[in-house]
Amino acid sequence: MPLTAEHDALAISLIRGLAMDAPLHAKSGHQGTAMSLAPLGHVLYSRIMRHSPADPHWVDRDRFILSNGHASILQYALLHLSGYGLEMDDLKAFRQWGSATPGHPEVHHTAGVEVTTGPLGQGFANAVGMAIAERRLRSHFGSQSVDHHVFVIAGDGCLMEGVSHEAASLAGHLGLGKIVCIYDDNQITIDGRTELTYSDDVPARFASYGWHVEQLGEIADDLDALEAAIRRGMAETDRPSLLVLRSHIGHPSPDFTDDPHAHGNPFTAEHVSATKRVMGIPDEPFWAPADLVAAYRAHCAERGATEVAAWHDRHHTAAVDPALWDATWHATGLAGWQDALPTFEQGTSMATRVAIEKAFNASLDGVPSLVAGAADLTGNTGTKLAGQTAQSAAHPDGRQVYYGVREHGMGAAMVGMALHGGVLPAGGTFFVFLDYMRPAVRLAALSRAKVVFVFTHDSVGVGEDGPTHQPVEQLATLRAVPDLQVIRPADANETVAAWVAAVEHDGPTALVLSRQNITVVTDGSAVHTGAGVVRDADDPQAVIVATGSEVALAVAAAEQLAGEVRVRVVSMPSWDRFERQSDDHRAAVLPPGVPVLSVEAATTFGWARWADRSIGIDRFGASAPGAVALDRLGINVDHVAGTVRAMVGA
């Protein structure tokens, strides 16, 4: 059923009322932006977006991202009105333990939320990744099966953050015409008016990136003008669109319109009452007329059902291979895909960054969702796909993405691709540059986004570039991130196994790989359980546990000690996978009562969990050839063997 002008007015008042009531009830929250953008949200959900409350995961839905996620109550009110399963009790539990309405939107937690937003600018950059995914899938499967838009609301804070600059530049260069970003130009931040800190010419900046830009002016309450502007943006099929909307935070509050206090300080009951009088709605908490909610839900349900039915007809006509479709959308492999993967003979010498490239290229047919690239280090990080064209407007089906020197934008875009669905993004950079993309890695873990982060040049073996490029501390920081699978493979066989583990995993994986060649000493099986024996001894007197390039070193040390000390060597490529094993399994690998020495060319922080003593690098590195740097910093056979002797003697 269509909504009338009366429905429109009442819905906007309801959204504004809830935007005040929920933070007041929680004594926490941000009402001002949600109040001023209530008309925009209403237009998107009731007139513009193709979405289905009955089928929130319908693959060809339009995606909506609230990049300024502190305004979450706006999205929750819209999801309540539209019929996504959020009821009034959920809104009353805003920001409370276990509620469906947390302080910032969280994907997989609340139906209708596409990405986890909060850190400003991340959602904007996620939208760029979603648009890359949409275009590639549309080109691959045809517009009958995939053809939708990505709508994002972003504020001043989003566009101040550096990640938005990186992502906007990339989006303009790629000509991603399916993004429509509405820039909420309310000119307010927590510290005060934006003139305190911000004098950018935002429209000129985005025009220079290659975006279509419109300054909409004072139309924040004009529904028809908002709809027309958004549709003009949607018509720009060859470039992304930025619509600059001058809004007034806190409107229509008689006390706090255009006031920084409207941003993050909940109104008092008196302020809420005064605003409701201006709006002409009852002064009662969580006012939501049942007939209005019913009409709105019926309208959205009818629109959604029509769109989904039409899509099913189109998709059926397209006659897409079901196995290919399912493997792509689930970001997994076709049946038998692992059969094409390489194996490597013991004694082979190969950098693990080279091995991952071989694994990727062997998987091109079997893992159809794989899209790879790097932040200007494609050949250096093993993320070059053989025979694949670069993703671009001219080649929308391209599986190779050149991100440029934009680590943060790359990371956030990959999260967007993964959460869109249909793409398994693998993106590479030097391990030390994790610091440039750490927020995106963290949000990938929080979102359970299936992303493969490829970090190479993983130790002081980087060599002459010196301590600025030698990531001694980064591995420990990755291991501290909840729900992030971290794998540092010992050699080429473990690297292939790590790729299999990443494809089978339901969240993000960080692969930590070497620059230098490493002798193959394993069969790769240790990856499955996180740790495994690669060289054993009867009734061992000591265990050396190592990761990455140090496993081969540990084997060499054990061989030096042969006939003198009985040494077991364990490869532990993944702490988190090993942690998930049973107590009995862990004890079988690391026998209780047998002294354990860890060896890793990184800080020893955290190794006390598994080892009695540790050889590592608890200082910054030095500029020297990689082998020299490793040797001078104690990562050598003699040091390991001597330490084992001392442990056994003690």
- Give the integer Cα–Cα distance in Å for 168 and 187: 20
Shared domain check, 491 and 615? no
- 279 and 385 assigned to the same domain: no
CATH label of the domain that carries residue 347 = 3.40.50.970
Q: Which residues pair with 532 in a beta bridge?
A: 571
pLDDT computed for residue 264 by the predictor: 85
Candidates 628, 570, 428, 610; CA nearest to 509 is 428
Mean pLDDT of all residues in 501-519: 98
How far is 461 from 58, CA to CA, in rounded Å?
47
pLDDT, residue 15, reads 98
Q: What does the alpha-carbon distance between residue 303 and residue 531 come to, in Å, rounded to a whole number?
A: 52
pLDDT digits (tens, 9 = 90+) for 561-600: 999 999 999 999 999 999 999 999 999 999 999 999 999 9
Residue corresponding to tokens 């985005």: 206
**pLDDT at 537 > cutoff 90:** yes
Let me know whether 188 and 298 are in one domain.
Answer: yes
Give domain status of residue 41, yes or no. yes
Structural domain harbouring 228? 5-117+143-149+164-307
Q: Give 266-293 pLDDT, tens digit per residue.
A: 799 999 999 999 999 999 999 999 999 9
Q: Does some domain include residue 46?
A: yes
Average pLDDT over the chain, rounded to whole?
A: 97
Residues 514, 538, single domain; the answer is no
User: What is the spatial distance between Cα 34 and Cα 19, in angstroms, rounded to a whole number?
Assistant: 6
155 is a domain residue: no
- For 627-636, what is the mean pLDDT? 97
Q: What is the pLDDT of residues 477-487, one digit of tens each?
A: 999 999 999 99
Please identify, among 475, 497, 519, the residue that sits at the C-terminal boundary of a domain: 519
**122 occurs within a structural domain:** no
Residues 549 and 632 in one domain: yes
Give 426-466 pLDDT, tens digit per residue.
999 999 999 999 999 999 999 999 999 999 999 999 999 99
Residue 252, preceding bond cis, omega within 30 degrees? yes
Burial 513-552 (b: 16+ CB within 10 A, else e): bbbbbbbbbbebebbbbbbbbbbebeebbbbbbbbbbbbb
The whole-angstrom separation of Cα 300 and Cα 316 is 24
Does residue 4 surpass a pLDDT of 90?
Answer: yes
The C-alpha atoms of residue 275 and residue 290 are separated, in whole angstroms, by 22
More confident site: 649 or 65: 65
322 located within any domain? no
Neighbours of 587 (CB within 10 A): 12
Same domain, 364 and 299: no
Same domain, 368 and 298: no
For residue 406, how far is the Cα from the chain centroid? 15
Residue with tokens 């290659």: 210
CA dihedral of residues 498, 502, 507, 508 (deg, nearest 10): 70
Mean pLDDT of all residues in 312-319: 95
Using alpha carbons, select from 4, 3, 21, 1 the residue that is nearest to residue 279: 21
Q: Most distant CA pair in the chain: distance in Å?
A: 90
| CA dist list (Å): 373 to 81, 298, 307, 506 | 41, 44, 34, 21
Q: What pLDDT is attached to residue 520?
A: 98
pLDDT tens digits for 398-415?
A: 999 999 999 999 999 999
Residues 286 and 426 in one domain: no
Query: What percent of the chain is modeled with pLDDT above 90?
Result: 98
Higher pLDDT, 1 or 43: 43
Query: What's the chain's length in residues?
Result: 650
Residue 332 lies in a domain: no
- Residue 392 shares a structural domain with residue 445: yes
Q: The domain that contains 597 carries what CATH number?
A: 3.40.50.920
- Same domain as 562, residue 497: no
Long-range contacts of 313-319 (CB under 8 A, 24+ apart): 314/144, 314/145, 315/60, 315/144, 315/145, 317/144, 318/141, 318/142, 318/144, 318/145
Q: Are residues 111 and 14 in the same domain?
A: yes
What is the percent of the chain where pLDDT is above 70? 100
Q: Report residue 433 as tokens.
A: 């540059």
Tell me the CA distances in angstroms from 532 to 73, 118, 240, 571, one per residue in order: 49, 40, 49, 6
- pLDDT band, residue 1 (cuts 50/70/90): confident
The neighbour count for residue 191, using CB atoms within 10 Å, is 10
Name the domain boundary from 269, 287, 307: 307
Q: Which two tokens stand for residue 523?
A: 């069969």
| Domain total in the chain | 3
Concatenating the DSSP letter of every residue in 459-515 gives: SGGG-TT-GGG--TTHHHHHHTSTT-EEE--SSHHHHHHHHHHHHH-SS-EEEE--S
Residue at 315 is within a domain: no
pLDDT of residue 501: 98
Q: 326-362: buried (b, 16+ CB within 10 Å) or exposed (e) per residue?
A: ebbbebbbbeebbeebeebeeebebbbbbbbbbbbbb
Q: Are residues 222 and 343 in the same domain?
A: no
Beta bridge partners, 455, equal: 429, 512
pLDDT in tens, 382-400: 999 999 999 999 999 999 9
At 192, the pLDDT band (50, 70, 90 cuts) reads: confident
- Given this model, what pLDDT does residue 247 score? 97
Output the pLDDT for position 265: 85
Does 324 reside within a domain?
no
Residues marked as catalytic: 407
**C-alpha to C-alpha distance for 550 and 469, rounded to whole angstroms:** 19
Q: What phi, psi does 203 have (nearest 5°)?
A: -60, -40
Element (DSSP H or E) covering residue 614:
strand 613-615
List % helix, strand, coil for the chain (3-state, nearest 5): 45, 15, 40
pLDDT for the residue numbered 336: 97
